[in-house]
Every structure is written in C-alpha cells, then in structure tokens.
Amino acid sequence: PVPTVLTVARDTLKAMPSVLRVALPVPLPTLFDYLPPATGTVGVGSRVLVPFGRSKSVGVVVQADVPAQVGSAKLKRVLRALDDTALLDAELMQTLAWAADYWLGAPGEAYTNALPLLLREDKPLPETQEPIWQLTIAGHSALDAGSRRGGSRVLLQTLLAGPMSTAELDTVLPDWRAAGRRLAEAGLIERGEASPSPNFFPNTPKLALHAEQEAAVAAVTEAFGRFQPFLLDGVTGSGKTEVYLSLIERTLAQGRQALLLVPEIGLAPQTVRRLRERLGVPVEVLHSNLAEGERARAWLRMRSGEAKVVLGTRSAVFTPLPQAGLIIVDEEHDGAYKQQEGFRYHARDLALVRGRALQVPVLLGSATPSLESLANAEAGRYRAVHLRSRPAATQPPQVQIIDMRAQRLEHGLSPALLHAVGETVARGEQVLVFRNRRGYAPVLLCHSCGWHAECPRCEHPLTLHAAWRKLVCHHCDLQAPMPSSCPVCGSQELKPQGQGTERLEEALTAHFQHVPVLRIDRETTRRRDAFEQLLGNLADDAPAILVGTQMLAKGHDLPNLTLVAIVGVDEGLLSVDFRASERLAQLVVQVAGRAGRARKPGRVLLQTHHPDHPLLRTLLTQGYAAAAKDLLVERKQTGLPPYGHQVLLRCEAHQRAAVDAFLSEACAALPMTDALQIAGPMPAPMPLRAGRQRGQLLIESASRRDLHAAARPWSVQLAHLPNARKVRWSLDVDPIDL
Ligand code: ADP
Ligand code: ZN
Ligand code: ZN
C-alpha cells in the first residue's frame, strides 16, 4: 500500500540503504523512510520516535528493511524505538493497510487512528493494572488527629473506606490529584498493589432461549473458527441481546475473545451491566467519553489477552484481538459507525474485514438492517437469521396514522394525539413523544414583514431556544441573543414557527399538569451519565411523559411505556438525500419498538401531513422488511448504493472561486472511462456553512473495482493540484450523506 512517488532505476536500487517505512500522523498520502536507529532492531508494527520537520513525531513502522526511495543524503535516522515487540500485530497491520487503501485515507492517519491517544505519545506504555491508592498507618493517625484540612482531608476520608483506583478517584473526586501528591509526599497515602480484578460471579439467571434464538446461536456457533458473516434480523425486543450474550459465553468457554460494537455510548452502560452480570468476567469498555488512561489500559489488556470481552463504539473496531473468537456489530444500520472526519472508515465494514483476516464469524444485528446488509444477505454473502417474536411482550404494538390535515393543532399536537396521551397517563402508564428536533422552534418569523432569523454564516434558519433566550445555528453553533423586535420593520410580532422538543415539553407540561414531563435530547443530557440518571428517575409504575429526539429511539427498556407518539417526520419524506427514506423507515420502526416491551400491550401513533405516502403505508401495513424491499428495488433501478458505488470529493473555502477552480482541476485530472459517471462539480447540499463556500464532485460506478482503480491514483494527485492549497478538501468512499 505504499504510494511510491519516485521510480528508482534497478542498478541504483542496490546502492540504496535499507530503511524503515513509517506511518506518521499527517494527512498526506504517503509513508516516510528513515534509517534504523543506531542500535537495536525495529520490527513492523512497533512505534518509533522520529525527527519530523522541526520537531519529533511518533510513528508506526509499516515496512522494515526495505530499500530507500530517496538517496541517503536526505535520509534521517530514527531517534528511538518505543517498543521491544510489535504493538500492532500482523493482522491489525494487514487490516489497516487494507483500510487505508480502501477508504483512500492518508495511511498515517489510518495507523494512528488505531491507537488510543495515549499510545500515540512518546511515553512508556501504561501499566495494564491501574494503580490504587490507600491510607498508610500515618494516614490513619493524621485523619484521627484531624491534622489535615480541605482537599487533603476529603481525600483521606474517601480512602478510609478502602483503597481506590486512580480512575475511581477521578470519578468521585475530580480534583484529587494535588492533594494526592501532597499526601503521598508526606507519607500519608501510598500506591498499592492492584488487587487481582474482583471476582465476578454471574448473578443473573440464564434465560432459556426460545427456538428462534437457539437456532441463531447454533448457526453462529457452528461457524466458530472460520469467517462467516451473519445478519441477525430481529424485531425490537425479540431478544437479540440474549443471543449476543449466549454467543459471547460460548466464545469465552473456548478461551477466545469477543468484540461487541454498539453505535453510541448511551447504549453502553446498560449493556455493560448486562454483560458483567451474565458473563462473570470483566468487560473492557472503549468509547470516547472514557479517560485516556482507561482507554489505553483496556486496549492493552485485550492485546495481552488478559481481557476477553470488549464492548465499544466505532473506534473499538481497532482493538487488538490476538485470541479472536467472535465479532458482533449491534444496530449495524446505524450511521454512527461511519467516521465523518479525518480517516473516513466504516466500523461495520472494517469489522467484516477483520473477521475475514482473523477467521471468525461476524454477527451483524438489527431490527432495521441497512439496505447494504439486506442486499448482501440476498446475494448470499451473509447468512440471514431471523427473530420474529417478542418473548417478553404480549403482542406487537399497534401502529396508527393520524392525518394532520385540516386539524386544529395545539403546538403541533393534534387532538387525537393529545387524547391518547391523556388516556395513557390516566391509566398510570408512560408515553414517549418523539420529535427529532432540539430547541423551541426551528424558525423565528416576523408576522408583519416576513423576515426570519437566519445564520449569516450558513444562510439557514436559526433555531429558537426559548429557555436560553437565544437563537442558535444547528449547523455551525453560532449563537445570537433572541431579538425583541424585527430588525427589518421593527414589529414586535415575532412568531416561532414549528416545534422542537423544548416547545413540546412546554405544551405537554401545560396540558398535563399533574404528570411529570421529561425532556431527553442533547441539551438535557450534556453531562456524563445524565441520560442514565434522567431515565433512572422514572418510576416503573408511575405515569410520565418523555419528550425527546432520536436519543430515545434505542436502548433502555421502559416496561411501563405503552404509547409512542411520533410527531413531525414529514421532513424525512421530502428530503432530497436518497438515503432519507431508509433512515426514516429505520427511525420510525426503532422508536415504535420502544412501546409495549413488557406485558402491557403497546400502541404507536404517527402524526403526518402525508398519510398516503407509499413509504409510510408499506411500513405500517407490511413492516420494515417490505418497505426495505421496495427501497432496494428503487436503488437498483437508479443504480444507487448498494448496487452502485460512490466516491465523493468534498471541498470548501472562503472564496467560491477557489472551490470551483479546485473542483474543475480535480474533475479534469480524473481519467475518464465508460465505467465512471460523474456528477458535478456542484454546490454541496448546504452550499454555505460556517462562512465557508462548499462544493462537491461525485463519482459513481457500477463496478467497485473500476471506481477504485480510477480513484486510487487520483487521490494522490489531488494534493498536487494548483488550487489544492487554497481549499480544504476530503475524499469520502461510500459516503453516507451526500
Ligand atoms: P433486543 O436486543 O432484540 O431488543 P433483548 O435481548 O433486549 O431484545 O430482549 C427483550 C426483552 O426480552 C428483554 O427484557 C429480555 O430479558 C427478554 N427476553 C429475551 N430473550 C428471552 C427469553 N428467551 N425468554 C424470556 N425473556 C426473554
Ligand atoms: Zn418584520
Ligand atoms: Zn450557521
């Protein structure tokens, strides 16, 4: 995968010194040659400290002992090897080389992406066991004598309960470190031996799997030891998680490791608890909210084989799995698996590549599989296994459309919907009102002259956030005070148009005064664990109304939730993005699946101005599978993914002229063949964002091979185009939003 820039004549090759080819964290389509360090040898997969420009950089050795591509005069020497043995094993190195090539990323970014931040630094590897802190005898006496005050005293008191790890202290006493240093110097506390990881005993009884679950488990177990992708297509609440648990148990029984990917950290806490309770082994967790030390340790424990199970979000797909047994991707349809900046990889697709390299089965699970995975299953590349029944629920929820046309709406809520909410809470049950828009109203309009508040940097309406008395741009985060009168005509008649979750919360609170109304969106869950806590406050047996965005669409069993009211999905029906229908269908089905997960039957209301829309009709009368089938037929007819393949070149700059110039150069540089179709250069769907002009060029082909054959050399050329330095550009292979 080395983009060789120079061609070297054969006879000079012999004279070339042998070098290390190193991936460095820079967005350039190239690797860098260095002479090996003065002493010792360095192998592939190890980290090295090298001089780079005027400073130093940590890189990963991709090739060792290869002839240099430049004369020795220009070569610099590795300053130091950071690892005795490879940090990234042969499989990961091979997978990363494949990934950099496939997603046309800068190889350096691909390799560094795979390492936790702490391991990208010139520091010794952290101990995999976390240090713990405990009171010394002197510390006990000091505490009794009351000789310490303030932070020191609090820390002593905290440790009186028993030794605590650094991470635990970080959680309970975020500012403990200064006091810790003082007390350690005074000999009042000391670093202790980390106790062997606590014994976990499984304490939840195993459920007897039902027949469909048994069949799924048997199918995957039979494929242990070889690569086989499975699509576990199971309605919400059908017991997919139980299937994962059972399979991970079997993986552990064979002494092998399991990787479970989830799309969001929000899903992690509940799943971690369920895994720990059931499996009786420590479960490593890897996600972006974790302290860097903890991330690095979890990664290293999997690498050493000390740890057997890892649960994580997107980047956890890079965890070393020296004893791999099974890879699971939960909610495989979720867009969060696609990285949208830097190295633009897709974690689900990478999981499959790793599964092949590691020779293990890969299980993709979803109630609403992506069209890509459905097409793969249909083509026989994946084996489909189905879970059609819901073990815990009495019946599948009933879905009903509310036609909003010609209705008197109260803050966007129809009388029928309000009536149903009233009935539900009167029975002591809970309601979820789903609206995928934060804030009070998406538009603030002047009733006298028609002016509306717009972001000057994006030319998009600003969202009104009433509680903050602010207008906020949801595209660039620009904030402006809420005007009291129209800046154009001076009128005071400024009217919020449309509804966001904040407004619905207000309307429902006013309408149902004796029922708690809980809003769950990015604003109310900003703090770590806030999501968990908010839902934790919900009594299982009391009425409540939840208002929220798609954060509420998944995870979290709420047994007393019996009504789901979906308001405002019409934007999704009208969008120009060809994936909008798929996403809408998935969202509706996932949200609807929140209702009636326990013994009580559930009901779903969908409020729309387009009650006859074919997608909604099919979805409600025949379900997701039928809707997906229709969408696949459309995609096939139009040659769109998964039947066609795309590479998108995005470009932005302050000047439109620079964008246009770069895109035309890029277009001209593309070797045209009959296999390629080109759309553009054209403005991006949001032509202006955060003050930058944006444009794009879309390349499509029915053949992935032809597309890559053209795009691969082109991607290296782009950086050298005359206008490349005047713009920001990026390539996206298999983009998920155009
Ligand atoms: P999914 O992940 O498909 O949404 P879960 O695995 O969370 O579904 O299961 C949904 C509910 O059904 C959970 O409350 C779970 O405990 C219960 N459940 C799953 N499998 C069984 C089973 N075999 N017997 C009884 N209850 C089950
Ligand atoms: Zn006005
Ligand atoms: Zn903006």
What pLDDT, in 10s, does the model give residues 248-275?
999 999 999 999 999 987 666 677 778 8
Give the CA distances from residue 140 to residues 146, 150, 296, in Å, rounded to whole numbers and listed in that order.
10, 16, 33
According to DSSP, residue 413 is labeled B
Quote the ligand 3 centre to 472 CA distance (angstroms). Answer: 8
Q: Which ligand is nearest the CA of 597, by number?
A: 1
pLDDT of residue 385: 96
CA distance 335 to 327: 19
According to DSSP, residue 297 is labeled H
pLDDT of residue 573: 81
Q: Which ligand is nearest the CA of 488, by number?
A: 2
Q: Which ligand is nearest the CA of 445, by number?
A: 2
Beta strands in 53-158 (DSSP E): 55-67, 76-77, 80-81, 132-135
Tell which phi-psi region holds residue 728, choosing left (phi > 0), alpha (psi between -120 and 50) or beta: beta
Beta bridge partners of 234: 387
Q: Residues with Cβ < 8 Å from 586, sequence gap 6 or more?
A: 333, 368, 624
CA of 213, closest atom in ligand 1: 23
CA distance 307 to 330: 21
Q: Which ligand is nearest the CA of 599, by number?
A: 1
Q: Phi and psi of 161, rounded to 5°?
A: -70, -20
Residue with CA nearest ligand 1 atom 4: 237
What pLDDT, in 10s, does the model give residues 165-204?
777 777 777 778 888 888 888 888 888 765 544 444 555 6
Lowest-confidence pick of 67-81, 229-243, 496-510: 67-81
Quote the ligand 1 centre to 139 CA distance (angstroms). Answer: 49
On whether the CB atoms of residues 461 and 452 are closer than 8 A, the answer is yes
CA distance 283 to 662: 48
Give the CA distances from residue 1 to residues 120, 170, 720, in Å, rounded to whole numbers and listed in that order.
22, 42, 19
pLDDT of residue 634: 94
Residue 651, annotated as binding a ligand: no
Residue with CA nearest ligand 1 atom 10: 237
Residue 458, annotated as binding a ligand: yes
Cis ω on the peptide bond leading into residue 269 (within 30° of 0)? Answer: no
CA distance 177 to 186: 14
pLDDT of residue 644: 94
Ligand 1 environment, Cβ below 6 A: 207-210, 213, 234, 236-242, 391-392, 557
Q: Phi and psi of 683, rounded to 5°?
A: -65, 150
Give the CA distances from residue 665 to residues 193, 692, 706, 719, 723, in Å, rounded to whole numbers and listed in that order.
62, 19, 21, 11, 8
CA distance 558 to 596: 8
Q: Which residue has the higher pLDDT, 683 or 270?
A: 683
Task: Tell me which H or E stretch contains 622.
Answer: helix 614-622
Q: Phi and psi of 571, rounded to 5°?
A: -55, -40
Residue with CA nearest ligand 1 atom 18: 239
Quote the ligand 1 centre to 360 CA distance (angstroms). Answer: 25
Query: pLDDT at residue 702 above 90?
Result: yes
Quote the ligand 3 centre to 654 CA distance (angstroms). Answer: 14
pLDDT of residue 266: 67
CA of 236, closest atom in ligand 1: 4
Mutation pick for ligand 1 pocket among 242, 328, 591 (CB with most ligand atoms within 8 Å): 242
Quote the ligand 1 centre to 333 CA distance (angstroms). Answer: 20
CA distance 464 to 502: 10
On whether the CB atoms of residues 133 and 164 are closer than 8 A, the answer is yes
CA of 238, closest atom in ligand 1: 3
pLDDT of residue 671: 85
Strands across the sheet containing 728-733:
676-689, 692-701, 645-653, 728-733
pLDDT of residue 3: 42
Residue with CA nearest ligand 1 atom 20: 239
Which residue has tokens 């499984």? Answer: 202
Buried b (16+ CB within 10 A) or exposed e, 596-630: bbbebebbbbbbbebeebebbebbbeeebeebbeb
Query: pLDDT at residue 32 above 80?
Result: yes
On whether the CB atoms of residues 213 and 387 are closer than 8 A, the answer is yes
CA of 234, closest atom in ligand 1: 3
Q: Do β-strands 430-434 and 398-403 pair in parallel, antiparallel, or remain unpaired?
A: unpaired
Query: pLDDT at residue 424 above 80?
Result: yes
pLDDT of residue 198: 47
Quote the ligand 3 centre to 493 CA distance (angstroms). Answer: 24
Quote the ligand 2 centre to 493 CA distance (angstroms). Answer: 8
Q: How many CB atoms lie within 10 A of CB 645?
A: 21
| Side-chain half-sphere exposure of 139, counting CA atoms within 13 A | 28
Beta strands in 215-346 (DSSP E): 228-234, 257-261, 283-286, 309-312, 324-329
CA of 208, closest atom in ligand 1: 23
Which band of pLDDT confidence, cut at 50, 70 and 90, is reported for residue 1?
very low
Quote the ligand 3 centre to 478 CA distance (angstroms). Answer: 5
Strands across the sheet containing 603-608:
398-403, 603-608, 561-567, 430-434, 544-548, 517-520
C-alpha dihedral, 222 to 226 to 227 to 232, nearest 10°: 20
CA distance 448 to 454: 17
CA of 593, closest atom in ligand 1: 4
CA distance 731 to 604: 41
Beta strands in 275-350 (DSSP E): 283-286, 309-312, 324-329
What pLDDT, in 10s, does the model give residues 316-345?
999 999 999 999 999 999 999 999 988 999
569: amino acid identity, one letter? V
Q: Which ligand is nearest the CA of 448, by number?
A: 2
Residues in the chain: 738
Query: pLDDT at residue 91 above 90?
Result: yes
Most confident region among 356-370, 422-436, 590-604 by mean pLDDT: 356-370
pLDDT of residue 205: 65
Q: Phi and psi of 434, rounded to 5°?
A: -105, 125
What pLDDT, in 10s, does the model give residues 458-516?
999 999 999 899 999 999 999 999 999 999 999 999 999 999 999 999 999 999 999 99
Q: Which ligand is nearest the CA of 234, by number?
A: 1
CA of 557, closest atom in ligand 1: 14
CA of 392, closest atom in ligand 1: 12
Q: Which two tokens stand for residue 204?
A: 């939840």
pLDDT of residue 203: 57
Give the CA distances from residue 482 to residues 368, 473, 487, 490, 646, in Å, rounded to whole numbers and listed in that order.
40, 12, 11, 14, 42
Q: Looking at residues 590-596, what average pLDDT do you find? A: 83
Q: Residues with Cβ < 8 Å from 615, sequence gap 6 or more?
A: 573, 581, 584, 585, 627, 630, 631
Quote the ligand 3 centre to 583 CA distance (angstroms). Answer: 24
Strand, helix or coil at 258? strand
280: amino acid identity, one letter? G
pLDDT of residue 7: 44
Q: Residues with Cβ < 8 Å from 309, sequence gap 6 or more?
A: 248, 252, 257, 258, 260, 275, 279, 281, 282, 283, 284
Lowest-confidence pick of 230-234, 611-615, 627-631: 611-615
Q: How many CB atoms lie within 10 A of CB 353?
A: 19
Query: pLDDT at residue 535 above 80?
Result: no
Which residue has tokens 């995957």? Answer: 220
pLDDT of residue 557: 73
Q: Which ligand is nearest the CA of 460, by number?
A: 3
Lowest-confidence pick of 13-22, 62-71, 106-115, 719-728: 13-22
Lowest-confidence pick of 339-353, 400-414, 672-686: 400-414
Among residues 56, 1, 55, the alpha carbon closest in space to that of 31 is found at: 1
Lowest-confidence pick of 57-61, 196-200, 660-664: 196-200
**Over the chain, what is the mean pLDDT?**
88
Give the CA distances from residue 513 to residues 505, 516, 517, 544, 603, in Å, rounded to whole numbers and listed in that order.
11, 8, 9, 11, 23
Query: pLDDT at residue 529 above 80?
Result: no
Which residue has tokens 């009903």? Answer: 400
Residue 473, annotated as binding a ligand: yes
pLDDT of residue 560: 86
On whether the CB atoms of residues 131 and 120 are closer than 8 A, the answer is no
Quote the ligand 2 centre to 445 CA distance (angstroms). Answer: 8
Q: Which residue has the higher pLDDT, 13 or 86?
A: 86
Quote the ligand 2 centre to 435 CA distance (angstroms). Answer: 29
**End-to-end Cα spacing for the chain:** 28
Q: What percent of the chain has pLDDT over 90?
A: 56
CA of 244, closest atom in ligand 1: 6
In this prediction the pTM is: 0.87
Mutation pick for ligand 1 pocket among 213, 241, 271 (CB with most ligand atoms within 8 Å): 241
Quote the ligand 2 centre to 482 CA distance (angstroms). Answer: 14
Which band of pLDDT confidence, cut at 50, 70 and 90, is reported for residue 9?
very low
Give the CA distances from residue 274 to residues 347, 400, 678, in Å, rounded to whole numbers and listed in that order.
23, 33, 48
